[in-house]
Amino acid sequence: MEQPLSIELKNCTMGYGNFVVLKNISLQIPAGRIVAILGGSGGGKTTLLRHITGLNRPFSGEIFLEGKSLWSQSGRDFQKLRGSMGVLFQDGALLGQLTVAENVGLRLSELTKLNKKTIREIALYYLSLVDLADYAEFYPTELSGGMRKRVGLARALVAEPPILLCDEPTSGLDPINAAKMDELLLSMKERFPAMTIVSISHDLASVHKTAAQVVVLNEGHIAYNGNFSGLENTQDPFLRQFIERKVSSDKQEEALEKSLPDNIRQLMYDSLKDIIHRS
Amino acid sequence: MSDCKKKLKRPVSGSKTADLIAAIGSLVVFLINEIGAMALFMFGGLRAMVNFTSQISKILRQIAAIGYGSLFLIILIGLFTGMVIGLQGYHTLSQFGSTGFLGSAVALSLIRELAPVLTAIMVTGRAGSAMSAEIGVMRITDQIDALEVMNINPMNFLIAPRLTASLISFPLLTSLFAVVGIFGGYITGVLLLDMSSGIYFSRINSSVVWGDVLGCLVKAVVFAILVVTVCCYKGFFVHLRLDGKGAEAVGNATTSAVVLSCILILIFDYVITSFHM
Ligand SMILES: Nc1ncnc2c1ncn2[C@@H]1O[C@H](COP(=O)(O)OP(=O)(O)OP(=O)(O)O)[C@@H](O)[C@H]1O
Ligand SMILES: [Mg+2]
């Protein structure tokens, strides 16, 4: 049976100001899937995510969420569509003036009439999913980068939104915690089969383990869209480099071989000789 | 807002005069855009104040920061302002042999002008700059975007509590400033110089009318809205600034928020006074 589409992009051109990042992108994501977005650093993955959440408006093209065109909705319907998404930002984007537990419960405390005790209990539950229940009273600045990211994920998971968007949930985490994140996403998927999870990642092992659909962005286009085994068997030179972790081009080798002129290097060393100890 | 960023990019042309006209034109367009956006921002904030019952804890927190936090400063400034008017007024009035009017001079100048204006300027420097910087940092670290995707209206969450808190704090601080200032005039006039305290206070009683007090409170309310709107607006749209990025933009936003607030306070002071006269 065909799954209904959860996210659909039709010929979207995206960017900032007058700087185009992604050109004429079309993408279909059926409901109830884990989709991994891959691509080089600066390749526009975060940009894609920001446009799906409606934070930025595409220059052209249309974005459909749950079959509805995002930008032709009236205010309230737009909010409702957006409310169906939980978003983990690349840097967590936790509110600095609130504690971890308050951050996780923020949506409930702001938008519902639930009492404080209930909200706290809910927040602690989601924090325990990311193994951070002991840190409920900490402020975001008192956490490590990886911990902030996990709190961000806990916040995005509240109320199990139909669409979960994660910007690099595993980057900055050690292998054990990264594996835990994968398990968490898979168990979410198992317990809430209708949940669509879009996860940006640089971690091929984790993508292989979790994702049913893999999208690779390169130079403003979609270079690959399909399942992981298809990606492994591809003959496309860029994709091969990508999955084999090979240095991408002669350009890069050239850059590595390029050397700073000797006199300039000497000048730099000399001027720093009181600052950098060199034996 | 993003439109004005584009419009500010000047079209390239050969002639210097044309360039100049284009520059002036785009500046005017930019200013009009900015005023319009600020007005919309203000109405958004005022509208969001309707939900104040759900924001009580945030409002109290802001009152603590804006009002309570400024108490000492206002008392200090109010006292010395009153004392110096007392001194100046006494010497000026003594040239005409009418030192008896010192009470009126001190009270009227404080209540009509100095209390609302100086309070607003002091609170801008103390609390307004903090608002601008705090909201600006939230903007550049994606926190405001995070609020938006969680469907938490930043107007409700950030701006309205500050507006409500200022609307409560400004009139109180202004009144406090005036009272302390009158006491400062009393210190110079009666305690340090040789006026009788009966004359000082009876002149105040007979010269200050209800309209003066009302005008003072109207100014305080207008300045409260002005300061919060300008300071929050500058922080909120810090990412669209053309004169810097990141931390620098937050710094610039804070500076321009304080400068613009002070200028607008003085302009609106004149406008309100001219209606009042
Ligand atoms: N706010 C912005 N304004 C202008 N350009 C931006 C902005 N944010 C990102 N860009 C540009 O958009 C391009 C894509 O950036 P994006 O953040 O989407 O990359 P990414 O794929 O998420 O990279 P990474 O894996 O390093 O997070 C980059 O060239 C970047 O310079
Ligand atoms: Mg990114």
Summarize the confidence of residues B182-203 as an average pLDDT: 87
The continuous run of DSSP H or E covering A223 comes out as: strand A221-226
Q: Is the pLDDT of residue B12 over 70?
A: no
Residues in Cβ contact with B153 at an 8 Å cutoff, skipping those fewer than 6 apart: B48, B147
The beta strands (E) that lie in A75-184 are given as 85-88, 163-167
Could you tell me if A134 and A101 are in contact, meaning their C-beta atoms sit under 8 angstroms apart?
no
Q: Which residues surround ligand 1 with Cβ inside 6 Å?
A: A 16, 19, 21, 39, 41-47, 90
Residues in Cβ contact with A67 at an 8 Å cutoff, skipping those fewer than 6 apart: A4, A5, A8
Å from CA of A148 to ligand 1 middle: 21
Q: Closest Cα to residue A222, out of A208, A206, A236? A: A236
Q: Which residues of chain A carry a pLDDT beneath 50?
A: 1
Give the span between the Cα atoms of B131 and B231, in whole angstroms: 6
Q: Is the pLDDT of residue B135 over 90?
A: yes
> Per the CB < 8 Å rule, is A95 touching B137?
no
The residue in chain B having the minimum alpha-carbon distance to the alpha carbon of residue A107 is: B150
What is residue B131's predicted lDDT score, i.e. its pLDDT? 93
Dihedral angle of Cα A11, B239, A53, B145, to the nearest 10 degrees: 180
Give the span between the Cα atoms of B23 and A104, in whole angstroms: 48
CA angle A17–A20–A21, rounded 5-degree value: 115
What is residue A5's predicted lDDT score, i.e. its pLDDT? 76
What is residue B7's predicted lDDT score, i.e. its pLDDT? 44
Ligand 1 mutation target, pool A14, A16, A87, A199, most atoms within 8 A of CB: A16
Scored b (16 or more CB within 10 A) or e, A138-160 reads ebbeebeebbbbbbbbbbbbbee
What is residue A2's predicted lDDT score, i.e. its pLDDT? 55
Is residue B179 very low, low, confident or very high in pLDDT (cuts 50, 70, 90)? very high
Q: Is the pLDDT of residue B276 over 50?
A: yes
The continuous run of DSSP H or E covering B223 comes out as: helix B210-236
Q: Closest Cα to residue B78, out of B107, B49, B102, B58? A: B107
Closest ligand to the CA of A201:
1
**Count of CB atoms within 10 A of residue B25's CB?**
13
Summarize the confidence of residues B125-147 as an average pLDDT: 93
More confident residue, B38 or B194: B38
What is residue B3's predicted lDDT score, i.e. its pLDDT? 43
Ligand 1 mutation target, pool A47, A89, A90, most atoms within 8 A of CB: A47
What is residue A1's predicted lDDT score, i.e. its pLDDT? 43
Summarize the confidence of residues B246-258 as an average pLDDT: 91
* Contact residues on chain A for B2, CB-CB shorter than 8 A: 17
What is residue B4's predicted lDDT score, i.e. its pLDDT? 43
Summarize the confidence of residues B248-264 as an average pLDDT: 92
What is residue A131's predicted lDDT score, i.e. its pLDDT? 84
> Per the CB < 8 Å rule, is A94 touching B146?
yes
Q: Specify which of A69-78, A140-149, B168-177, B246-255 reaches the highest per-range mean pLDDT.
A: B168-177
Give the span between the Cα atoms of A189 and A30, in whole angstroms: 13
What is residue A246's predicted lDDT score, i.e. its pLDDT? 65
What is residue A100's predicted lDDT score, i.e. its pLDDT? 93
User: Across the strands, what pairs with A22?
Assistant: A14
Q: Closest Cα to residue A205, out of A171, A233, A236? A: A171
The structure's pTM equals: 0.84
What is residue B2's predicted lDDT score, i.e. its pLDDT? 42
Structure confidence by residue, pLDDT tens digits, A201-245: 888 888 888 888 888 888 888 888 888 888 888 888 777 877 777
Is residue B5 very low, low, confident or very high in pLDDT (cuts 50, 70, 90)? very low
CA distance A252 to chain B (A): 29
Residues in Cβ contact with A120 at an 8 Å cutoff, skipping those fewer than 6 apart: A101, A105, A136
Q: ipTM for the complex?
A: 0.83
Question: Strand A196-200 relative to strand A163-167: parallel, antiparallel, unpaired?
Answer: parallel
Tokens 């550049």 belong to: B140
Q: What is the largest CA-CA distance in chain A?
A: 71
* Contact residues on chain A for B141, CB-CB shorter than 8 A: 91, 93, 96
Is residue B1 very low, low, confident or very high in pLDDT (cuts 50, 70, 90)? very low
What is residue B165's predicted lDDT score, i.e. its pLDDT? 94
Structure confidence by residue, pLDDT tens digits, B81-129: 999 999 998 888 888 888 888 888 889 999 999 999 999 999 999 999 9
Give me chain B's average pLDDT, please. 88
Give the span between the Cα atoms of B277 and B273, in whole angstroms: 6
Structure confidence by residue, pLDDT tens digits, B206-233: 888 888 899 999 999 999 999 999 999 9
Q: Is the pLDDT of residue B156 over 60?
A: yes
